[in-house]
Structure 1
Amino acid sequence: MDTTSAHGGKLINLYVEGEALLQEKEKAKSNRSWDLTTCQMFDIELLLNGAFSPLTGYLNQADYQSVVEGMRLADGTLWPMPINLDISQAFADETTIGEEITLRDPEGVVIANLVVTDLWTPDKTLEAEKVFGTTDTAHPGVRRLLNEGNPVYVGGTLTGVTPPLHYDFNQYRNTPAEMRQHFAELGWSNVIAFQTRNPIHKAHVIMMKRLMAKNQANLVIHTAVGRTKPGDIDHFCRVRCYEKVLPHFPAGTAEIRLLPLAMRMGGPREALWHAIIRQNYGFTHFIVGRDHAGPGRNNLGGLFYGATEAQELVSSLQDELNIQILKAPFLRYVEGRGEFCEEHELLSGEAGLYISGAELKDKLCHGEDIPEWFAFPEVIEELNRTLPPRSKQGITLFFTGLSGSGKSTLANGVMVKLRELGGRHVSLLDGDVVRKNLSSELSFSKEHRDLNILRIGYVASEISKNGGIAICAPIAPYATTRRSVRSMIEEVGVFVEIHVATPIEVCEGRDRKGLYAMARAGKIKGFTGIDDPYDVPENPEMRIDTSQYTMTDAVEQVIERLREMKLIA
């Protein structure tokens, strides 16, 4: 079996066996432990099985800085993405250089032992600028880096103990060594990897077939099934769709395999990272798409990266790669000819038809027919099982506004009206009620306010995931926290932010408890709108000032907006 890695060395395998394994398990009993998050689990799996060769653990500080600044390890080896274990300040304060820490999965299973070589607080703003090219938190990778991760980075060497356990699609899961052996057994000397986090449609299949023929190669749909972009169709549905697509390739020429990757949506750098990972798996060719691993649009409505920027970067480094880079052509459907053509093949007057992933999802959510030229009917049938029309999807209505703005009263009225209309279970998560029953031990510090909102978001996501309507009515003063809740909800349902924009003067006039007066007198500290900020939502789905309507009319305004959005009939 070939163990030569993409970088000319051996394919890294950090797992130990036999007596060495028993020793590692014994040491784990006395080591301090860090429980890995879901995203950290994806990283460590690919570190341990060699997909991140030549890395032997988390980057030390010198390698981290070199990667951030120039896409290379300190020794000059090409590597574009920082891979570090982020830990809490409290855990870091107890950690020493040279210490061995045991890393466990969320259920406490020992995954690996880590010998700490470096411990530092990174400049995450600089990391965002260099790695993602922006500090705009509309970028999901930037938002996770700046707002969701822990503050301290650990560098160190890993020893693998237990491979992470998976229950789904195990027939499609292979380590890099297993994949190379599989290709050798099949006699596949040229193999193309196709990276995807979306369903595959007719244009994709035609593009892949053309590249297979041109390069006399077989193909693997090597789909990312770890963390992808918030709002993506879940990998369970996507893999079922790929199974429907596979018969459209000549028998025995194409396969499906899963890559448990925590994507950063880092555009050009991520495309290079994907190529290096695929050469570690033994692929000979890799397709780089247009706007590869791009996160969509920024706060100004433009793309974060140019359409061909990823293709240009990876191609410019072809001489340093042991995998052939293939640029995915952009195909459009020409109705007059009944075929897909590349842009340069379009004749004068031929515009060609194209449906983006976002447009497809919108059509599915609105119950619209998908053109036959675009997708295979069996794929659309599978997508409809997972993405019913919006009027049948789970929803979270997130009312936010100042104390006294009327959001709780409005939320109650909307709840009653939705129950009157029927069709879905409706649950109200009022801020005061949640404080009493779910977060009674929390203070009103910023940290605890954020935690309270995230708890509300989690409960709402569970309601939405199961097709119900969750109505939330907290103050939720901080934009970053509201954005985190939006991301959480949009992975499973529809998020509707409703800013109850009642002026503070009106809110104070309604204040029966005298809280505003006490805050202005300094008797209450950290009161939202007085001595603690309220981040006004920039682009809510709805904004309403309850001082301008009777509450009955305000409720009707919200219901009408939900009808406009086709969320209710």
Structure 2
Amino acid sequence: MSQLIAPHGGRLVDLFVAAGEREALKHAAAQLPAWDLTPRQLCDLELLANGAFSPLEGFLGRADYESVCRDMRLADGTLWPMPVTLDVSREFADKLGDGAQVALRDPEGVILAILDVADRWEPDRQAEARDVFGTTDRLHAGVAYLVDRANPIYLGGRVRAIEAAPHYDFRHLRLSPREVRAHFDKLGWRRIVAFQTRNPMHRAHLELTFRAAQIAEANLLIHPSVGMTKPGDIDHYTRVRCYEKLIAHYPEQTTLLSLLHLAMRMGGPREALWHAIIRKNHGCSHFIVGRDHAGPGNGADGKPFYGPYDAQELVARHHDELGIAMVPFQEMVYVQERAQYAPADEIAPGETVLNISGTELRRRLHEGLDVPEWFTYPEVIDELRRTHPARHKQGFTVFFTGLSGAGKSTLANALLVRLLELGTRPVTLLDGDIVRKHLSSELGFSKEHRNLNVQRIGFVASEITKNGGIAICAPIAPYAQARREVREMVSQYGLFVETHIATPIDVCEQRDRKGLYALARAGKLKEFTGVSDPYEVPESPELRIDTSDIAPDEAVQRIVLKLESLGLIRPRD
């Protein structure tokens, strides 16, 4: 590990061991307990290793973690607003002794680094959510990940990086902090304003960034996050192609496009402060903080988690110690009379404001409607249409859930026939019993195995959806968390239509052709959903159907009408 004095941004921590040590360290690492890094951990390790997370020298230990959660500072007082932790399973942690070392591997088993474990503890993740995100509402993407997906035990300690995780996409745009600084030095740039985004950029973004660069009298770094963003966001492949189209509209030799492999937490004000520090580490002198920076949307109460300018206020309060200046910006809107964009607070009375929200843009793309050129460039829309066709041409998943005997399989088979009659896309039925036989035959009926079975169904459904097909899933899927995970998997590629077959248990028992309920009541069938194991009723499915007094044809027609209302199938198809 070394610390470099750079002309931009101060000290840059570099956690890679010297080239001459790597082979010996690889050999030693092969004998250590190994942890396979999750996608978020892969992102974090990369930015730890290359210095983007300077001054961190590894995953936070307990004292630093508690100080960051409580005060947005490391234990030594250094400003740092976001916990960067390594979460592992309890089973893995229990195998580690005091002073343990852990080999950190990518999904292919390649050892990327060694963690010298200094701390091991079980955090209060609800408390972490309240401190860091200001809420425990699972509609907040950061909270949902922390509470539902993160492992229960944290390991902290110094990291020794052996090699960087390989990237095979857009290599020419994946620049480390050291490489970005070198580019600035080569071109003689001394004042650079950075722009963070996780969305495609349109003309309003171009105007915003160009104005920010003028205000700061600086060159411009377009620095999109291409690691983990918010579930449902447009994939980074599409976004980067859009950025490459847009970058041609900036004046030549003024703007650099570089990709940041950041796992966003959608943490609003704290995240904005974090983003500013990261851009300082890349050598930037200024950072744009816009309206609702890194905002995760609305909570269960229908209100935004953060105020529109909370992020700007927090960054401004720490200006003196940040080492990077903020360029605050309001929303940019198109003024019809001027035929140009202007900040929302500069609109004169009587002027006509035109704006297209992200929701409206998605609607136009889904319905194949025109997008005006004042909003974005035709070549950008062409890229978006390539990977986001009209909704009636996209893949989707219908996910039935309900008690045994509720009617899931009957409706799934009837819906299969209806969709095959339409013939617009390939249709695949993933029935619970069929999946158990062919995909999960080795699994039992413990909660862990049930969740694993549902996750497998979700993975297959997501692949079908991604490739433009229709997946019909009909497991019991009794647990809310597993259903949420499947929704996240599928929603990356298309709509997820959760359909709760809400038939009461007494009706299900009357229909019990296999005699399963009787066996469960007699105690001969253990862990049976609805009798000796709980069924967690979906809170807000897209559709809820009680088949007690409704014929299958009528129930399926309700589903078809729902699919039509969502634009997934056309009434006259």
Match of 2:357 in 1: 356
CA contact (8 A) 1:198 1:357 kept: no
Q: Structure 1 residue 518 and structure 2 residue 519: aligned?
A: yes
- TM-score (normalised: structure 2): 0.96
Distance 2:388 2:212 in 1: 31
Question: Shift in Å at residue 487 of structure 1?
Answer: 0.8
In the other structure, the counterpart of 1:429 is: 430
- Corresponding position of 1:84: 85
Shift of 1:3: 3.5
Q: Residue 5 of structure 1: CA displacement?
A: 7.2
Identity of aligned residues (%): 58
**Structure 2: runs of 5+ lacking an equivalent:** none
What letter corresponds to residue 217 of structure 1 in structure 2? A
Q: Helix, strand or coil: the match of 2:117? A: strand
**Aligned counterpart, 1:129:** 130
Preserved contact between residue 6 and residue 276 of structure 1 (Cα < 8 Å) = no
Q: 2:278 aligns to what?
A: 277
| One-letter amino acid of the counterpart of residue 100, structure 1 | Q
SS of the residue aligned with 2:223?
A: strand
Of 31-40 and 185-194, deviating more is 31-40
Q: Quick one: distance in 2 between partners of 1:84 and 1:345?
A: 43
Distance in 2, Cα, partners of 1:545 & 1:506: 10
Q: Which amino acid aligns with 1:435?
A: R
Task: Decide whether aligned partners of structure 1 residues 351 and 503 sit closer, same or farther in structure 2, where only a CA change above 3 A counts.
Answer: farther
Kept in 1, the 8 Å contact 2:4–2:14? The answer is no
Q: CA deviation at 1:281?
A: 0.6
RMSD (Å), alpha carbons: 1.6
Contact 2:221 2:256 in 1 (8 A): yes
Structure 1, gaps ≥5 residues long: none
Counterpart of 1:408 in structure 2 is 409
Distance in 2 separating the partners of 1:6 and 1:307: 34
Q: What does residue 244 of structure 1 align with?
A: 245
Distance 1:545 1:161 in 2: 57
- What does residue 326 of structure 1 align with? 327
How many corresponding residue pairs? 568
Deviating more after overlay: 332-341 vs 302-311 = 332-341
TM-score (norm 1): 0.97
Rounded to whole Å, the distance in 1 between the matches of 2:128 and 2:92 is 22
1:496 is aligned with what amino acid?
A: V
CA distance in 2, matches of 1:10, 1:331: 35
Structure-1 separation of matches of 2:19 and 2:185: 27
Q: Tell me, in whole angstroms, the C-alpha distance in 2 between the residues paired with 1:3 and 1:191.
A: 20
Q: Is the 8 A contact 1:47 1:53 kept in 2?
A: yes
Aligned mates of 1:100, 1:329 — CA distance in 2: 48
Give, in angstroms, the shift of residue 208 of structure 1: 1.1
Closer/same/farther in 2, CA of residues 9 and 115 from structure 1, 3 Å limit: farther
1:347 corresponds to: 348
* Secondary structure at the counterpart of residue 472 of structure 2: strand
1:536 maps to 537
SS at match of 1:258: coil
Deviation at 1:9, TM superposition (A): 6.2
2:72 aligns to what? 71
Partner in structure 2 of residue 151 of structure 1: 152
| CA distance in 2 between partners of 1:73 and 1:5 (Å) | 23
Deviation at 1:351, TM superposition (A): 5.8
Partners of 1:84 and 1:430 in 2: CA distance: 39
1:95-144 per-residue CA deviation (whole Å, 9 max, x = no partner) reads 12312221111111110111110111111111111111111111111111
State the SS of the aligned residue for 1:118: strand
SS of corresponding position for 1:11:
strand
3-state DSSP class of the match of 1:427? strand
**CA drift at 1:432:** 0.9
How far apart, in 1, do the equivalents of 2:389 and 2:430 lie?
25
Return the offset for 1:154.
Answer: 0.4
Which residue is equivalent to 2:229?
228
- 1:513 shift after superposition: 1.9
State the distance in 2 between where 1:97 and 1:65 align: 21
Contact 1:5 1:280 (8 Å CA) reproduced: no
* Equivalent residues of 1:6, 1:322 under 8 A apart: no
Q: Tell me the amino acid that sits aligned with residue 373 of structure 1.
A: W
Distance in structure 2 (CA, Å) of the matches to 1:284 and 1:80: 19
The aligned residue for residue 450 of structure 2 is 449
Partner of 1:459: 460
Residues 400 and 497 in structure 1, CA contact (< 8 A), matched pair in contact too: yes
Separation of aligned partners in 1, 2:244 and 2:456:
37
Alignment partner of 2:373: what SS? coil
Instruction: Give the distance between the partners of 2:380 and 2:217, measured in 1 at CA.
Output: 27
| Structure 2 residue 204 is matched with structure 1 residue 203 | yes
2:126 and 2:525 map into 1 onto residues whose CA distance is 34
Cα distance in 1 for residues equivalent to 2:261 and 2:359: 23
Aligned partners of 2:105, 2:179: CA distance in 1, in Å?
24
